[in-house]
Each structure stands twice: as structure tokens, then as C-alpha cells.
Amino acid sequence: MTQHTAKHYPQHIDLHPVMHVQGTVRLPGSKSISNRILLLAALAKGETKIIDLLASDDTLVMLGALRALGVDWRQEEQKDPHTLHQVHHVKGCGGELPNKKADLFMGNAGTAIRPLTAALAVIGGDYTLHGVARMHERPIGDLVDALNEVGAHISYTGQPGFPPLHIRSGQFKAERLSVRGNVSSQFLTALLMVAPLMAREHAVSIDVVGELISKPYIEITLNLMRRFGVQVEQDGWQSFTVQPGQQYQSPGTIHVEGDASSASYFLAAGAIAGGPVRVEGVGRDSIQGDVRFVAALELMGATISMGDNWIEASSNGKLKPIDADFNHIPDAAMTIAIAALYADGTSTLRNIASWRVKETDRIAAMATELRKLGAEVEEGADYLRVTPPAVIAAATIDTYDDHRMAMCFSLASLDGAARRGNTMRINDPKCVAKTFPDYFAAFAGIAHDQLI
């Protein structure tokens, strides 16, 4: 396999069967942490120095939006004895944004459009937000309703309930907001992040209506708000209160952990095809819920070890099937659907309805592509059941402009012994640029004994 960068991706990549994986991967920065820190730094008082921000499409659209809004930031490289670090300096605007009018392209980044919509609605101005075609099919109505109910002026310029959006200055009377939690946790994250801007004179409470999904992402939000000096009072997962008079303050320097969802591909590779494979950048100390992916790999029989800032996985014979609820790790759970190909029985992934409203309808896409490999797949509104084939067939995998489809299905090239020895073709691999532009180079770095 040749190495690729995001800029030079071909129309497809052919992956020859990989007999053994081993090695160490330094992870790119966490997408969820990067985009939260960028917005918090822009809203804070003082300058924030961010080390190891993720460089990918999702963070580029956030950085571009901040620039268009008049936020001053600059980037430099710093070298320590072993590693080159990206360093960003963001000059906080103390709860204001200099440019009162802007047209913002948000790509397909949920972590950019949702929190920015809330921030712009609360701060006020004349803004339009739009993205790629799929972004215009991803719901945002629950967030818009929650904000408009307390005086925001957000309207739809396309389909009601979906971007593009037009935001104008509103008249806020926000002491108590409510938001539905069962479509995306990013709506609650967005409201939490702007709550201190609304809680100038009185406390602001946010009530969650119905079930809240993807809860560990709320923990990331609360953790980072604390790092920027704002405490949130929490009543279970039902209600969140910000007391008045709290302002975001720059923490000075802040470091971005490696991305735990990106870690899942390498750890699964170690669990499937030998190992050990080590990822550096996340470990025991991580604030990302997706590190709990390793508990699922352990249930499947893999051997896992962990330090403060690294995780290692290796195989321990054939994987066992798994039947579990994956609501807490929706992104990394896609990797389990592929690991299930290598298990000696049927696996069931439950409570994953949110897959249907992400980069593509991931339940449908996963079912279609797994079937190409010979798996028997049952698809429900909120679950996926995978029975592996005796031998994984070679196939041409479509990726639906979904980075995780491309990264997951690269793992179907593993363990040549279970394959017919043909190559696995991944169409449109450049979609990995959403969160991990160098993914295929990193994968090539742990792939050994390829049958060419």
C-alpha cells in the first residue's frame, strides 16, 4: 500500500490482506475536545495557548468561522526533543464577538455548527450558517426550538428543522430552557456552553426532555467548561444550572488529548490481528467516553493494557461475539461492528439509533457494506446484528462521505488467513479528512506481512 495524505488521495485505495499488525500510533487530537476548546477560548477573557489541536476538516471550519467572526488567532509549530507540536494562540473576546455579520461554512461538523448556533443566537448579530449537502439533512430543530422559546431569532432558509440557518439578534429572557436529549447530545452541549453568557444577572437552568443519549460527551463539555472557570450544577442527567456572574477565563495553556474514537481502529486491529498495537495520546486519564471502547474489546476477548496516556491491544485467539448497549460510545461502536466480522458467532449492537442522523445513515450503510463482505446482517431502527461469514469476501466498499466508514472498513483487510487473499477496495478514501487526514498512512504503519 502506498502512503497518502488528505491532499493527495486517489479515488480509491486497494488494501492487500494484512497478516499481522504491530506498532505504535501517535493519535491526532480529539475532535470533540478541539472544537469545544476553540469556542471556549474565543468566548473567554484572555489569550489561550492550545497545544496539539486536531488539524482536520472539522476544526478547519471552526477556525475559519472564528476568523470570520473577528476572533484573532494564530498558529505556530513547536518542537520538543521528540515531537513536533501544533500550537494555536486564541485571543478571547470576553463573551463578545467582534463581527456582527458573517456567512459561515460549517462543512459537516456537528461540533462546530451546533455550539456556534447557540453562541451566535445569544450574542446577537446577523449570521448565516450552512454546510455540505449532508449537513442540511442533519437535524438541528431541537436546538433551534430551545433557543427560540427563550427569545432567539433563528429561522430556516431551507427545510424546517435543518440547516441552513439565519440568525438575527433576539430579546433573551432565559432563566429556564428545555431541550430534547434523544436525537443528539450536541444540542445540550451547545446550550451548556452558552449558559454563562445568558446567566449574567440570574441563574440559568437547562432541563432535558426525554432520554439523553451519548452522555459521556456532556461530561467532556462540563469538564472543559470547568477548565475555563465555569461550574455547572447537575441534577442527574435531567437538569443543569449555571449560577450568575461566572465568566469564561482562559486557563493559559491547554493541551488537547489524542482522539479516543480514532484510537478505536488501531486497538481493534491489535485485537483482531496479533498486536500489540499501542496508541499514544489517550489512556486512563482521558476525559473522553470513547476510551470505554476497550471494555467492549475486552468482552470480546482481547488483551488490553493501559497507562495514563497510552492504551495497548493484542489478540488472544479468535474474538468472541458481543451483545451490548452502545449508546454511550456511538462513534467507536462502529468499529465493534467490524470487529464482529472476526468473532465466532453473532454480535448485536443495541441502542444506536443516533447512527441514522450522522454523516450518513450509518445503520443502513454499515449493513449494506458488511453484506458485501459476506456477513449476514439484520438492521433495526436502533440496532444492528452481525453474523460473520466463514471467510470474509473481498469487496469494493462505498464510504458515503463518512470518515468512519472508510476507517472501519480498512480493518476488513486484516487477518489474511480469514480472507480469500483478494484486495479490499475502499472508495473515496479522502473522507477521512473530517477527523483524521493521515489515517491510511498511520494504518500502513502498523500493517505487516501484507500479501501483495
Ligand X SMILES: O=C(O)C1=C[C@@H](OP(=O)(O)O)[C@@H](O)[C@H](O)C1
Ligand Y SMILES: C=C(OP(=O)(O)O)C(=O)O
> What residues are labeled active site?
331
Residue 29: DSSP 8-state? B
Least separation, in Å, of the C-beta of 219 and ligand X?
Answer: 10
Residue 264 assigned ligand-binding role: no
227 is in an annotated binding site: no
Q: Does 111 bind ligand Y (CB under 6 A)?
A: yes
Q: Is 214 in the site for ligand X (CB under 6 A)?
A: yes
Partner in contact with 435, chosen from ligand Y, ligand X, none, beta carbon below 5 to 8 Å by kind? ligand Y
Within 334-363, which residues bind ligand X (CB under 6 A)? 354
Binding mask 126-165 for ligand X (x = CB under 6 A): ----------------------------------------
Placement of cell 497510552 in the chain: 310
Q: Choose, by CB under 6 A, the member of 111, 262, 387, 423 that binds ligand X.
A: 111
Picked from ligand Y, ligand X, none, the partner binding residue 109 (CB below 5 to 8 A depending on kind) is: ligand Y
**CA dist., res. 244 & res. 201, Å (int):** 6
Q: Is 108 in the site for ligand X (CB under 6 A)?
A: no
Classify residue 372 as exposed, middle or buried by CB count within 10 Å of its CB (0-12, 13-18, 19+).
middle
User: According to the annotation, is 434 in a ligand binding site?
Assistant: yes
CA 182 – CA 326 distance, rounded (Å): 14
**343 binds, options ligand X, ligand Y, none, Cβ within 5 to 8 A by partner type:** none
Is 31 within any annotated ligand binding site? yes
Angle at 94 between CA 88 and CA 98, to 5 degrees: 80
- 52 vs 331, which CB is nearer to ligand Y? 331
Q: Sketch the per residue contact string, 279 through 298, with ligand X: x for CB under 6 A, - otherwise.
A: --------------------
- Cα–Cα dist 106/60, whole Å: 9
DSSP structure class, residue 99: -
CB of 365 to ligand X, least distance (A): 15
Site map (CB under 6 A) of ligand Y, residues 321-340, x = contact: ----------x---------
User: Which residue has cell 430534547?
Assistant: 180
The CB-of-187 to ligand Y minimum distance in angstroms stands at 11
Residue 114 assigned to a binding site: no
What gap in Å lies between CA 67 and CA 290, rounded to an integer?
30
Q: Which is nearer to ligand X, 321 or 330 (CB)?
A: 330
Residue among 242, 234, 171 at smallest CA distance from 203: 242
Q: Rg for the chain (alpha carbons), in Å? A: 22
What does each C-alpha distance from 223 to 33, 121, 189, 330 come to in angstroms? 10, 23, 11, 20
Q: Least separation, in Å, of the C-beta of 193 and ligand X? A: 10
Question: Is there binding between residue 189 and ligand X (CB under 6 A)?
Answer: yes
* CB neighbour class for 63 (10 Å; exposed up to 12, middle 13-18, buried from 19): buried
Nearer to ligand X, 59 or 423 (CB): 59
**Closest C-alpha among 268, 220, 281 to residue 52:** 281
For the CB of residue 121, give the shortest distance to ligand Y in the complex, in Å.
19
Report residue 97 CA to chain centroid gap: 26
E runs forming strands in 195-335? 204-209, 233-235, 239-242, 253-255, 274-280, 303-306, 310-314, 323-325
Residue numbers belonging to the annotated binding site for phosphoenolpyruvate: 31, 110, 138, 186, 362, 404, 434
Residue numbers belonging to the annotated binding site for 3-phosphoshikimate: 31-32, 36, 184-186, 214, 331, 358
Residues near ligand X (CB under 6 A):
32, 110-111, 184-186, 189, 213-214, 217, 330-331, 354
Residues near ligand Y (CB under 6 A):
108-111, 331, 358-359, 404, 435
